[in-house]
Amino acid sequence: MTARAAEPSPAALADEAVREILRTQWAGEPAVRLDSPPGAGKTRVVEYLAVQALARLGERCMVVTQTNEQAFDVGRRLAQGFPNLPFALFIRKDLVAPEDVTALPNLQLARADGDLPAGPCVVIANAWKWSWVVDGHVAPFDCQVIDEAYQLPDYRFHQIAGLATRVVLVGDPGQIAPVVTCEIERWKCDPTGPHVACPRALIERHAGVRRLTLPVSRRLVSDTVDFIQPAFYPELPFTALSAQGERGLRVRVGGAMPVDAAIDLAARGASLVEVELPGLITGEVDEQLADTVVTLIVRLLQRRAEVYDGDTERPIEAGMIGVVCAHVSQVNAIRERLPLELADVLVETADRFQGLERPVMLVHHPLSGRADASVFHLDAGRLCVMASRHRVVCFLVSRAGIEDLLLRYAPSGDRVLGLDEDAEFNGWHAHLTVARRLRERERVVRLARMTA
Amino acid sequence: MAGELDLVARLLAYEGGRAVSIATHRLMAIRPDALVLCPLAMAGEDTTVHIVAVGAIGRPPEIYCVADPRVRDEQYELFAWLGARIERHFETCRRAGEYPQIWVSSGAVADHLDTLADRQRYNRENAAVKRFGELLSYQTERYPVDGQQALITATGALRMHWATGQQPGEDEHLGTLLAWIEPPRNTNILDAVALAERVPMGVKTDPEFDRDVLEPRVAAYNQARRGGARAVELRQRAGLIQQALEPVVRSIYDGTQRAIRILSRMGLPELPALRNLEERERDEFESFMASRDAGYHLPLVDKPRPAAFKLTAREDAADNFEAAVLCGDGVGRARARLAGHTVYGQVENPRRTRLSPHRFRYRFDLVSRQRVLRVRRRDELASLGDPRLRVTVANVHREGAVTRISAIITHGQQAVGLPASGTTLELAKTVPDWDRLIRTRKQLRQRLVATPWTHDEQGTAPAVTRARRPPRDPLAEVEALR
Amino acid sequence: MITARLARLRGSLLAEEPGARGLERVARNPGCQRLRALTMIGVTPATAMKTVYKEPDREGQSPFALAAGNRFERAVFENGAARLLELYRSAGRLTTAECKIVVVPELAPGATAATMARRRAETERLFQHKVRRDPRAPNIIVKARIPVALLGVPHDTEPDVLVAADSDAFYGPVEVKSYPDRAGKTNAADIRSACRQAAVAVIGLRHAVEQLRLGDPRQLVPAAADLVLRRPGSFRPTLRPMTLAGEVHSLERALDEAPRNLEELEALIDAITPGASLDEAEVLDAVPPNYVEACREHCALAPKCKQAAAACGDPVLIGSQAREELAAAGSLGRAVDLLRGRAQPRTAEERALQARLQQSLGEYRQAVGHGR
């Protein structure tokens, strides 16, 4: 009788997926699209590709980010992670770089085409900066690695695609689509339109482009994956790296305040918990909800909550907590309530939280307090980003009535001819899936009244 | 999404039973030589014009009506006639180094002109009609671009300056919009609006009117025509059709003229950036006409390269127009302040630090009490008072209702100088940059001279040229380099 | 019995066949009990406006639009639907050999109830052929007659076309509309309307599959349809396949909820006056509407509901966003009073709303430079 081979562990699966991606560069694949669920280590893959190109393939590698901040972050990670290798950060002439970045000895700052290294190198810049490279001023690159590729609209990719022989697009297909601020009526029906996220447009034009996926999320625990994957990634199956129970929340001090029930639920292993205030139409700014968010944060600290991850335990500090909202006004409402000692809590909009993570997250639910569900608030990408930033626990704070709102909802029906995608319905469906699952798994803690 | 200021404006309008002003400056140009163009289509016939009223601002219209726009030759005559007027207008503008401006009543008319232009500029049967379509394409291609001055809808122009007490969608009916702005005396505003709503102000007549009045006359005309009636009879029957349609189109024409009068007589100064917007319009028009002279055709479907140019231009226009209104219009500025698009506060702690014998760093704090702020660390902002002063945000600290922004001056240290303590300063991320598009286009031309295979719809991915044998564990090899 | 209950609610109003247009209306505005009530009892909003409220009918299509639509249909279907077949061939959906067409009205001409029953029967027969993979099964069926049940009452619908290649397991619906296809510039309301009517056809087909026990309805009839639109300025058709998951889902939900909605409606009306019916204006007035901006696009009652909204100062009068932002105040009048400081806030939410409104007012006044 032959023994059945053991199923590979999530870590092994993750590593093998990374090996496969790295091998594509040895094979000289002209283009690879790498789809990654949240927290799968996209940026780490970007680092690996860059380092392999430089140190193993002797190639010139250009790394493309979407923002300056992301460029700083990648530069930091490469320089600190590989202190014996040189890297270059290509930025605008008058841009002030953070001091910790400029202090890195193996990270050169290049501000003009002529400053870029000749020969094998890794150069990191945002897409805008790359689009200003003058032909002939810079030697062609062998490999172009685009981080957060689903945030890059195709017309911007068009401007830089010719700078390298091979391209790897690394991104999360479930996140917020590229923001384009103008009318796009003449391209709406075109699946390869200039406004379309470049990985999608590339596959439309060249269906044979190699598609790979990262099958494991390092960030999300399996409990969260159970919510996120069916709602937002039905075509992209993935699992959690951490084993059940390996990561979680502990509290040292008991509590009897209404919000404590949510903390206790989290301490029992729930990684997604909804904290529900009594129903009320509030519009964008909900003062009571903002109070509840702050109360929840304060209680976590008062109860000496800590997060454990394998063998390590850390008491929760302000810097380990993030709050994400749909609107700037909501962000401000929470910020103005945070006491001085909680200044390190990162409070931001979903757009700004893309690419970031915290052990503990609180979410101002995008549909909370609304009379109608609009396309903006139903956007699946927005809720996906909000509900996938946490490593340990996420508290979704909302007003009661979200499920009813979803069931009452009639799609506005703004369809685009000939395109299969119905983003509004997909978003509606994702929201309802999450809402129902939270209810079915008894993850909803109902507060009878305001807690502050 | 409209913000709180616009919500309050609508509340005030509702309360007062009349529209309230929401601009301190006129936000679009009114060219004295502009054409007012009011076409009416036949329902269900998307590329027709049954009757058209066209004229200069403040002047009575010329009217052209065809008995049945489905009769191709008659329709072409109307297009050729209208095209000749447009051509004359274009020539005059071109000679003067100006740009042609056309006013229509509402977005529905603009959309209809767009359909016409898209269709007729490919006309192979009639050169005059083709030319008409080509020229009209200037207006219709410019229309989706923010801040364009070529094709102005009366409803759009009024809505930039007035808030009504009705739904935004209802503002697209010129009649109801005018009722709010100049409510008739002794009539409840809602009654006045309900009455105004019944009068067609777009590009189509009422189904009831079509059923009871127009269709019988058109049918009678066609019957006579098919029956070989004499020219006199046909003219008479055509005259009946015009008799029915003319009051409708005149009413739309008069409404559009009235809108222009209201805008002209508002007594508001022009948005300072209007001269830049008009300059841009002149350049675009000249470029458009040069392309027509050179025989370039206007595609319906864009290939990737022209799409990149067009989208870039539209984004640039959107950014610039938004920045122009924020900088130049009082209500625009108030809106931005409430939404946190500008940072407004008092300067504290201005200081100069020596970095080296001849280098200094100029810093100050800006203390703001704005409820909503969008500023983050490393944001780059410019002073609205003097855009030469530019700063990078070093830190943002909020305590309760007060936000303290620490800023480092990056430009304007000498030209503008360190602001004094207690000064009120307002900073914004974007100020208009009217040369940016020229630079960007130049760069795009350079970057897009060759189409990469990724964007070549006919091409295939390049063959693998440099396959190498990978190591057994490429991941371990990279990890070993840490 | 359902028909008796509906007849009681209708009172003196005559039942109208809703057709696809009427049936899709039931899902347009799920929050509007008034629209739902009328659709359930088989009365169009236009009829209610005319007959119950005695207001002139401002709805209806222009005869020119009707004529254009008819001409386009004729062009698509003439010569054995040559243009339609060519369209599907160019799209690779049908081969040259797949040209079997059946026009159901030609199988049973006339307009009597017996004729309609015969058309339904013929349609069922054709479906059975298809499922049995009979090579004679047509590729194109024009004006099949398919009932869609609302509250268990079947209402016949006639999808413009049903299409299937020989290798397809079953038919898919095709909506033929004379709307101009302008790609990304196509009128959004036109697309919406066409997709919703196509969704009715999907549901009708699924019902048929279920009734005739032909197989798994969802597998045989996916939520998708083709839109055949018109190239602007010509009679050449264009083909636009559309997935309809959202439209089908919302319609299915509305149909499923109809029985509960009917009970609620009966209870509501009985509470006003036992035995009342919806042919009386006061009774119809008492059925709550949900007036929103989109109502004007599809519902003849919109002006009436707007009047009702005006009477109570519903914030939706100044836009959907206002209904949400001013929810704490509840009405425009109250919102204005808070804004002007004429009213004391009664709740924390009103206080916060007042503060925001007054701050905005302050900024506005400063900007325009005079006291308003």
Give me the DSSP letters along A283-350: -S--HHHHHHHHHHHHHHHHTT-EEEETTEEEE--GGGEEEEESSHHHHHHHHTTS-GGGTTSEEEEH
**Structure letter (DSSP) for residue A153:** B
Chain C residues whose CB is inside 8 A of the A420 CB are: 242-243
**Is any Cβ of chain C less than 8 angstroms from the Cβ of B2?**
yes
In terms of Cβ atoms closer than 10 Å to its own Cβ (0-12, 13-18, 19+), residue B442 is exposed
Domain that holds residue A94: 10-216
C window 204-263, beta carbon within 8 A of B: 232-233
C62, C72, C178, C358, best to mutate vs chain B, most B CBs in 10 Å: C62
The answer to the question of residue A4 being in a domain is: no
Nearest chain B Cα distance for residue C48, angstroms: 18
Are the Cβ atoms of A69 and B1 closer than 8 angstroms?
no
- In angstroms, what separates the C-alpha of C347 from chain B's closest C-alpha? 20
Residue C189 has pLDDT above 90, yes or no: no
Three-class SS state of B372:
coil
Q: Give C74→chain B minimum CA distance, Å.
A: 15
- Do A365 and A296 fall within a single domain? yes
Q: With 0-12 CB in 10 A as exposed, 13-18 as middle and 19+ as buried, what is B175?
A: buried
CA of C336, closest CA in chain B: separation in Å?
Answer: 7
pLDDT of residue A73: 94
Asked if B311 has any chain C CB less than 8 Å from its own CB, the reply is: no
Mean pLDDT of the C92-109 span? 95
Of B238, B181, B198, B156, which is closest to residue B9 (Cα–Cα)?
B181
State the smallest CA–CA distance between residue B430 and chain A in angstroms: 14
Task: Report the pLDDT value the prediction gives residue A4, as an integer from 0 to 100.
Answer: 60
B266 part of contact set with chain C, CB < 8 Å: no
Using a CB-CB distance cutoff of 8 angstroms, which residues of chain B are in contact with residue A82?
481-482
Q: How far apart are CA B282 and CA A92, in angstroms?
A: 32
CA of C258 vs chain B CAs: smallest distance (Å): 31
Closest CA to B101 of B150, B140, B63: B150
Q: How many Å apart are CA A185 and CA B300, to the nearest integer?
A: 12
Q: Residue C301 in 3-state DSSP?
A: coil
CB contact under 8 A, B7 and C360: yes
Is the CB of residue C231 less than 8 Å away from at least one CB of chain A? no
Confidence at residue A2, expressed as pLDDT on a 0 to 100 scale: 55
Would you call C318 and B14 a contact, using CB atoms and an 8 Å cutoff? yes
| A123 in any annotated domain | yes
- Subunits that touch chain A (at least 3 Cβ pairs < 8 angstroms)? B, C
**Any B CB within 8 A of C308 CB:** no
Q: Which phi and psi (to 5°) does residue C102 adopt?
A: -125, 130
Cβ–Cβ contact C133 with B under 8 A: no
The number of helix segments (H) and strand segments (E) in chain B equals 15, 13
User: Which pLDDT score, from 0 to 100, does residue C372 have?
Assistant: 45
SS3 category, A244: coil
B47·C363 Cβ contact <8 A: no
pLDDT at A268: 96
CATH code: domain of residue A243: 3.40.50.300
Q: Does A326 touch chain C (CB under 8 A)?
A: no
Taking only the tens place, the pLDDT of each residue in A269-327 is 999 999 999 999 988 889 999 999 999 999 999 999 999 998 999 999 999 999 999 99
Looking at beta carbons, which pairs linking B74-79 to residues 24 or more positions away fall under 8 Å?
A: B75/B48, B75/B49, B76/B125, B76/B126, B76/B128, B76/B129, B78/B49, B78/B52, B79/B49, B79/B120, B79/B126, B79/B128, B79/B129, B79/B132, B79/B133
B150 CB neighbour count, 10 Å cutoff: 22
Which has the closest alpha carbon to C153: C40, C37, C29?
Answer: C40
- CA-CA distance, B409 to B357, in Å (whole number)? 18
Distance of CA C309 to the CA centre of its chain: 23
User: Of the candidates C186, C246, C327, which has its C-beta nearest A411's C-beta?
Assistant: C246
Rounded CA gap, B40 and C131, in Å? 50
Contact A103, A137 (CB under 8 A): no
Q: Which residues contact C201 (CB under 8 A, 6 or more apart)?
A: C20, C146, C157, C159, C162, C173, C175, C225
Evaluate if residue C55 carries a pLDDT over 70.
yes
> Tokens standing for A211?
């598609």
pLDDT digits (tens, 9 = 90+) for A317-370: 999 999 999 999 999 999 989 998 999 999 999 999 998 999 999 999 999 999
Token pair of B125 as six digits: 């049967």
Subunits in contact with chain C (3 or more CB pairs closer than 8 Å): A, B
Q: Distances from the Cα of A49 to the Cαs of A19, A241, A320, in angstroms?
A: 10, 21, 29
8 Å CB contact between B34 and C348 = no
Q: What is the pLDDT along chain B (482 residues), one digit of tens a residue?
A: 469 999 999 999 999 999 999 999 999 999 999 999 999 999 999 999 999 999 999 999 999 999 999 999 999 999 999 999 999 999 999 999 999 999 999 999 999 999 999 999 999 999 999 999 999 999 999 999 999 999 999 999 999 999 999 999 999 999 999 999 999 999 999 999 999 999 999 999 999 999 999 999 999 999 999 999 999 999 999 999 999 999 999 999 999 999 999 999 999 999 999 999 999 999 999 999 999 999 998 998 999 999 999 999 999 999 999 999 999 999 999 999 999 999 999 999 999 999 899 889 999 999 999 989 999 988 999 999 999 999 999 999 888 889 999 999 999 998 999 999 999 999 999 899 999 999 999 999 999 999 999 999 887 788 877 788 999 999 999 999 99
Q: How far is CA B375 from CA A69, B308, B326, B370, B378, in A?
A: 14, 30, 16, 11, 9
pLDDT per residue over C202-257, tens digit each? 999 999 999 999 999 999 999 999 999 999 989 999 999 999 998 999 899 888 88
Residues of chain A in contact with residue C294, where contact means CB-CB under 8 angstroms, are 412
What is the number of helices (H) and of strands (E) in chain A? Answer: 16, 19
Q: Tens of pLDDT along A3-22? A: 566 788 999 999 999 999 99
In a domain, A260, yes or no: yes
Ramachandran quadrant class, B147 (left: phi over 0; alpha: psi -120 to 50; beta: rest)? left
**What gap in Å lies between CA C258 and CA B398, rounded to an integer?**
52
pLDDT band at A201 (very low <50, low <70, confident <90, very high): very high
State yes or no: pLDDT of A218 exceeds 80.
yes
Q: Are residues A403 and A331 in the same domain?
A: yes
DSSP string, C39-89: HHHT--HHHIIIIIS------S--HHHHHHHHHHHHHHHHHHHHHHHHHHH
* Boundary of a domain, candidates A216, A241, A259: A216
Assigned domain for A343 exists: yes
C338 touches chain B (CB under 8 A): no
Residue C370: band (very low, low, confident or very high) from pLDDT cuts 50, 70, 90: low
d(CA C361, CA B334): 10
Query: Which residues of chain B neighbour C362 with C-beta distances below 8 Å?
Result: none
Is A18 in the same domain as A142?
yes
Q: What is the pLDDT of residues A220-249, one digit of tens each?
A: 999 999 999 999 999 999 999 999 999 999
Does residue B482 contact residue A47 with C-beta atoms inside 8 Å? no
* Residue C371 clears pLDDT 60, i.e. is over it: no
The conformation of residue A135, written as its DSSP 8-state character, comes to: B
CB-CB contact of A383 with A430 (8 Å):
yes
| pLDDT number for residue B2 | 63
Between the two ends of chain B, the Cα-to-Cα distance in Å is 49
Q: Do A197 and A260 share a domain, yes or no?
A: no
The pLDDT assigned to A452 comes to 43
User: Model confidence at C16, in pLDDT bands (50, 70, 90)?
Assistant: confident
Which stretches within A66-117 are classed as H helix? 68-81, 99-102
ipTM exceeds 0.90: yes
Q: What is the C-alpha separation between C366 and C134, in angstroms, rounded?
A: 78
Residues in chain A within 8 Å Cβ distance of C292: 372
The position carrying tokens 């600190």 is: A80
pLDDT tens digits for range A63-110: 999 999 999 999 999 999 999 999 999 999 988 899 999 999 999 999
Q: Do C64 and B42 touch (CB under 8 A)?
A: yes
- When scoring C360, C365, C372 by the number of chain B Cβ atoms within 10 A, the one with the most, hence best to mutate, is C360
- For residue B218, give how far its alpha carbon lies from the nearest alpha carbon of chain C (Å): 10
DSSP code of residue C318? G
The answer to whether the Cβ–Cβ distance between C246 and A422 falls below 8 Å is yes
Cα distances (Å, whole numbers) of residue B59 to A149, B56, B261, B263: 55, 5, 12, 16
The shortest C-alpha distance from B273 to chain A (Å) reads: 19
Backbone phi, psi, residue A407, to 5° = -75, -25
Q: What is the pTM of this model?
A: 0.94
pLDDT at C18: 82
Contact: C319, B42; criterion CB under 8 Å: no
Locate C179 and state its tokens. Answer: 């709307």
Residues A133 and A113 in one domain: yes
Domain ends where: A197, A216, A235?
A: A216
| DSSP-derived pairing of the beta strands A121-126 and A164-171 | unpaired
Q: Which residues contact B333 (CB under 8 A, 6 or more apart)?
A: B326, B327, B342, B384, B426, C367
Q: Chain A contact for C12, CB < 8 A?
A: no
| Chain A residues lying within 8 Å of B447, measured CB to CB | 131, 133, 135, 159-160, 162
Which pLDDT score, from 0 to 100, does residue A205 have?
95
Residue of C51, C19, C84, C59 lying closest to C227 (CA atoms) = C84
pLDDT in the model for residue A1? 52
Q: Which helix (H) or strand (E) holds B356?
A: strand B342-356
How large a percentage of chain A has pLDDT more than 70?
A: 98
Domain termination residue (choose one: A216, A248, A265)? A216
CA distances from C334 to B6, C313, C341, C344, C353 (A): 18, 9, 10, 10, 11
Do A115 and A129 lie in one domain? The reply is yes
Cβ B348 vs Cβ B421: under 8 Å: yes
Q: Is C69 an interface residue toward B (CB < 8 Å)?
A: yes
Percent of chain A's residues with pLDDT above 90: 83
Whose structure tokens read 């309301």?
A: C189
Contacts of C187 in chain B (CB under 8 A): 111
Check the CA dihedral A281-A282-A284-A290 and report its sign: negative
A284, A372, A417 member nearest C183 (Cβ): A417
Range with lowest mean pLDDT among A59-68, A187-196, B405-414, C257-266: C257-266
DSSP annotation of B169 reads G
DSSP characters over A176-226: PPPP--S--GGGTT-TT-TTSBHHHHHHHH-TTSEEEE--EESSS-HHHHH
| Shortest CA distance from A425: residue in chain C | C246
**Beta-carbon separation of C250 and A410 below 8 A:** yes
Q: Are A329 and A322 in contact (CB under 8 A)?
A: no
Give the model's pLDDT for residue B1.
43
